[in-house]
Amino acid sequence: MGKERKRVLSGIQATGNLHIGNYIGALRQFIGLQDGYDCHFFVADLHAITVPQDPKEYASRIRNAVNIHLACGLDPDKITLFRQSDVPAHAELAWLLNTIATMGELKRMTQFKDKAGGKAEASLGVGLFDYPVLMAADILLYQADLVPVGEDQKQHIELTRDLAERFNRRFGKTFRVPKPMIPKLGARVMGLDDPSAKMSKSAETEGSRIELTDPEDVVRRKVSRAVTDSGSDITSGKDKPAVSNLLTIMSTLSGDGVPTLEKRFSGKGYKEFKEALADVIVTTLRPIQRTLEELEGNPSYVDEVLEKGAAKARPEAEKTLAAAKSAMGL
């Protein structure tokens, strides 16, 4: 009998076009895990409506996020890939967990503070505030051992662990307490226009991110306009946040270590470095974009993948939900 594989779970929001930060911090990790772990990945369409979405475009955004997962190399025969809203247990467990989460702990979430963007608290959506509890429900429903995410999600995983432990203490052991899985390099890819801000789908300036669907000329233009630091050395370090970020992107995508790249570009100018970086990004994106085009031409295949994924995820989620309700006396 083989050893039972550990359960991995992660989701990506359908908030906009996925970018190389999402790829380096999350999707690339997912691909490396699909052979050795029991992987569940989902498109977090219930999370994405915590910020306004145009209903006319939303279905195609969700579909695009699913297609990107597949185009990046996730194999639906090896993993369970589904849409969050296809499994109603996510919202129901979130409600149960809401009854043990506190306002104080949710108010401490830095992502909430960032997304609130200084707006008056009274005008902020309850969904945005409650986002981490829904995320806890996503993870705990599937009794996940490991959650591969970028650095920005670490605090939410810590909250998930707290809620699981609190629930287990109060109502009896129901949930496995998960651990985050954060890559050593590339866990926080920064904006190309501002190395102090995380590369993000919802940042207003498109030049801040490279989207996975960006055509070659757009990639080259964005890279050529990426900000650099004072001085001309292509080296990584605290005093060189912009060049460090570019080196991280190049290193994670090319597989060459940062010291190797520093050596290669020693004495060379930013122009040459940026051209080489653009080449690496274009080479990474080309096969993804080719597969994406094929998937767009074959919607019934993607429908089938999603139906199969939901059919697998639903009973697993319902089992945990039933245990949680029973533990609470419901």
Which residues are marked as active site? 115, 198, 201
16 forms beta bridges with none
Between 68 and 306, CB nearer to ligand AQP: 68
Question: What does the alpha-carbon distance between residue 12 and residue 42 come to, in Å, rounded to a whole number?
Answer: 7
Question: What does the alpha-carbon distance between residue 132 and residue 47 come to, in Å, rounded to a whole number?
Answer: 9
24 binds ligand AQP (CB under 6 A): yes
Give one word for 172, left, alpha or beta, with left for phi > 0 and alpha for psi -120 to 50: left
Find out whether 97 and 325 touch, Cβ atoms under 8 Å: no
In the list 61, 161, 188, 222, the residue contacting ligand AQP (rule: CB under 6 A) is 188
Q: How far is the CB of 93 from ligand AQP (least distance, A)?
A: 18
189 binds ligand AQP (CB under 6 A): yes
**Rounded-to-10 torsion of CA 157, 160, 165, 171:** -170
Q: How far is the CB of 258 from ligand AQP (least distance, A)?
A: 16
Question: What does the alpha-carbon distance between residue 262 and residue 324 come to, in Å, rounded to a whole number?
Answer: 52
Which part of the chain contacts ligand AQP (CB under 6 A), choosing from 168-176, 198-206, 249-257, 269-277?
198-206
Q: Which residue has the tokens 């039972």?
A: 4
Find out whether 174 and 167 touch, Cβ atoms under 8 Å: yes
13 binds ligand AQP (CB under 6 A): yes
Q: How far is the CB of 314 from ligand AQP (least distance, A)?
A: 22
195 binds ligand AQP (CB under 6 A): no
In the list 84, 200, 245, 284, the residue contacting ligand AQP (rule: CB under 6 A) is 200
Site residues (vs ligand AQP, CB under 6 A):
12-13, 15, 21-22, 24-26, 44, 149-150, 152-153, 187-189, 198-202
